[in-house]
Amino acid sequence: MPGRIYITTPLYYVNAEPHLGSTYTNVVCDSFARFHRQRGDDTFLLTGTDEHGEKIAAAAAAAGVSPKEFVDGVSGTFRAVWDSVGIRYDHFMRTSDPHHVRFVQDMLARIHATGDIYFGSYSGLYCVGCERLYTEKELVDGLCPQHLTKPVEVSEPNYFFRMEKYQDRVRAHIEANPEFIRPEGYRSEALAMLREPIGDLCISRPKSRLEWGIEMPFDASYVTYVWFDALLNYVSGLEARGRREELWPVANHFIGKDILKTHAVFWPTMLLAAGYPLYEHLNVHGFWTSGGQKMSKSLGNVVKPLELRDTYGMDAVRYFLLREMAFGNDADFTEQALVTRINADLANGLGNLASRTLAMMQKYFGGAVQLLDPGAPEDGELAAAFLRARAELDTHVNALAFHRGLEAVWRALDAANKYIVATAPFTLAKDPAQLPRVGAILHNCLESLRVTAQLLAPFLPDTAERIRTSLGLDEMRFADLGLAWGAAFGAGHRIGEPVSLFPRIDTSSADAKPGKSAKGKKSGAEKPRA
């Protein structure tokens, strides 16, 4: 029975352009949303940009423009990138949006009225990059664990949120709900944080040193701390669309592990203070490195998603990101690994099945689909392989094991390619009396392509559409996941010419050697293999 799901990416901070890590998060969320839409669920995907704070003010000053001009430009870049790589979001959120500003101020006023916001002062170790205080215990060799910079000593009066008041309730909720934070390792990490005193949260910055932010509704001389502001977007975005009541209970946040504390500690306490129920799941992924090193501009190893798309195609990049990283763990990116995946999985596996099936259909039957007879045992085994793939894909994707789900599909693809070798339609076709059997074999191969495209549609949407078109199926028929094996193509149905889905990349050039860019030459269409 169809359900509901609300999926959120983090709001990306606009002091830098989109990178491989943020692209991964959005590809995961987009794939997860498409997966649920395909199964009939009421699905809402939110993404956007976080636009306040000290780093933004500093970046705008360095660029010689106002903060508003600066965030308008960079936010537009993020939106353009997500649009260009096929992210189908339902709402693009900006923390500078007027409705969000009003929502934040209303929330602050509500919590202040309960007595959970008070005026005090703090002193401690402050990381400008993270825009938060650290304890000595949290530092690594005296440095911020994220930015590897030395925090500065700060001391000033500010407003505080009584975060510690809600600590025990948050910890009890996480302990009672094992699936609240996924994977398990991050749940354990969050619980470890909550077993130590968390203190209260400073939620303001004086305008005397920072004006770019949301003004505190009860004191115009202060603006709101950027994290208290940004986290509220997950609710304000639904409020803007009038969908909070129906979708907030099924909220699924997707984040990188570097912002676990803000989402597993800060955010639940804020929700409890405001009288909101907690979200359904916090889903946490690891980091992408490049050649074994953390990506950084200074090292020159930053991977730009649009450059990858322009070189290899976005579906190839999507496949690599989803297949290479086990959700929750770290993974390493190299172009050589990407090219290997393209050649081994996409070209040899999927591409070869498509090209030789369609080529034989044109060669032996002029593209006209033949009858599917009861067939031999191997025919039933092939259909069963794809039925298993569907069940395994659903299980793995619901458990966020996207790489395992794709593995299941590729096992079925491997079975289809082995089926062609075992049944040898190219040999049988030499005997006119065997043509009905050849037609049945190729009908099964067309079904393999159809089901593969359906299963891959959430993850490789452009590729699935190309296969659908080549098979001559209308959108409604293609969308029917329950369509029985053999029911999609009637006798005489016309399919298209062979397609080159993923041309093999020639890795013999010097550019493709280890340690260098693996941008090899595309070697043309997949060559049908016997």
**Residue-wise pLDDT tens digits, 316-361:** 999 999 999 999 999 999 999 999 999 999 999 999 999 999 999 9
Pairing relationship of beta strands 4-13 and 42-50 according to DSSP bridges: parallel
Same domain, 278 and 345: no
Q: Which two tokens stand for residue 415?
A: 């079975």
CATH of the domain at 384: 1.10.730.10
Same domain, 266 and 339: no
* 351, part of any domain: yes
Same domain, 406 and 275: no
Rounded Cα gap, residues 219 and 157, in angstroms: 13
Rounded Cα gap, residues 48 and 67, in angstroms: 17
pLDDT mean over 200-215: 94
Domain count, the chain: 2
Nearest Cα residue to 52 out of 37, 74, 33, 31: 74
Same domain, 400 and 488: yes
Rounded Cα gap, residues 368 and 491, in angstroms: 7
Task: Render pLDDT for 306-326 as a digit per residue (tens, 0 to 9).
Answer: 999 999 999 999 999 999 999
pLDDT reported for residue 26: 97
Same domain, 239 and 364: no
* 90, part of any domain: yes
**Domain edge (last residue) among 285, 305, 324:** 285
pLDDT band at 422 (very low <50, low <70, confident <90, very high): very high
Mean pLDDT check: name the lowest of 15-19, 170-174, 487-491.
15-19
Task: Render pLDDT for 152-177 as a digit per residue (tens, 0 to 9).
Answer: 887 789 999 999 999 999 999 999 99
* 529, part of any domain: no
pLDDT reported for residue 237: 96
pLDDT reported for residue 156: 87
Answer for the pair 413, 382: CB distance below 8 angstroms, yes or no: no
* 296, part of any domain: no
pLDDT at 105 over 60: yes
Same domain, 125 and 12: yes
CATH of the domain at 110: 3.40.50.620
Reading across the β-sheet that carries 91-94, which strands appear in turn?
91-94, 42-50, 4-13, 251-256, 281-285, 181-182
Same domain, 71 and 199: yes
Q: Which two tokens stand for residue 132?
A: 């938060």
The torsion defined by the Cα of 157, 163, 164 and 167, in degrees rounded to 10, comes to -160
Same domain, 368 and 270: no
pLDDT at 505 over 80: yes
The CA distances from residue 497 to 308, 352, 375, 413, in Å, are: 28, 14, 26, 20
* 530, part of any domain: no
**Domain edge (last residue) among 219, 250, 285:** 285
Q: If you search the block for the tokens 């209970």, which residue do you land on?
A: 249
Residue 284's beta-bridge partner residues?
Answer: 255
Same domain, 270 and 350: no
- Is residue 518 classed as helix, strand or coil in its secondary structure? coil
Average pLDDT, the chain: 92
**Domain edge (last residue) among 225, 250, 285:** 285
* 212, part of any domain: yes
pLDDT at 394 over 70: yes
**Residue 509: CB partners within 8 Å, gap ≥ 6?**
520, 521
Domain that holds residue 494: 335-522
* 290, part of any domain: no
- Is residue 183 classed as helix, strand or coil in its secondary structure? coil
Rounded Cα gap, residues 11 and 227, in angstroms: 11
Same domain, 339 and 268: no
pLDDT reported for residue 528: 43
Rounded Cα gap, residues 322 and 25, in angstroms: 10
Same domain, 281 and 339: no
Radius of gyration of the chain (CA): 27
Same domain, 239 and 353: no
pLDDT band at 296 (very low <50, low <70, confident <90, very high): low
pTM of the model: 0.91
What is the DSSP code string of 285-328? E--EEETTEE--TTTT-PPPHHHHHHHH-HHHHHHHHHHHSPTT
Rounded Cα gap, residues 8 and 490, in angstroms: 42
Q: What is the share, in percent, of the chain residues with pLDDT greater than 90?
A: 81
Cβ-count burial 283-319 (b if 16+ within 10 Å, e if not): bbbbbbbbeeeebeeeeebebebbebbebbbbbbbbb
pLDDT top residue among 131 and 18:
18
State the DSSP H helix or E strand holding residue 461, giving kind and residue range, or none if neither. helix 461-471
* 116, part of any domain: yes
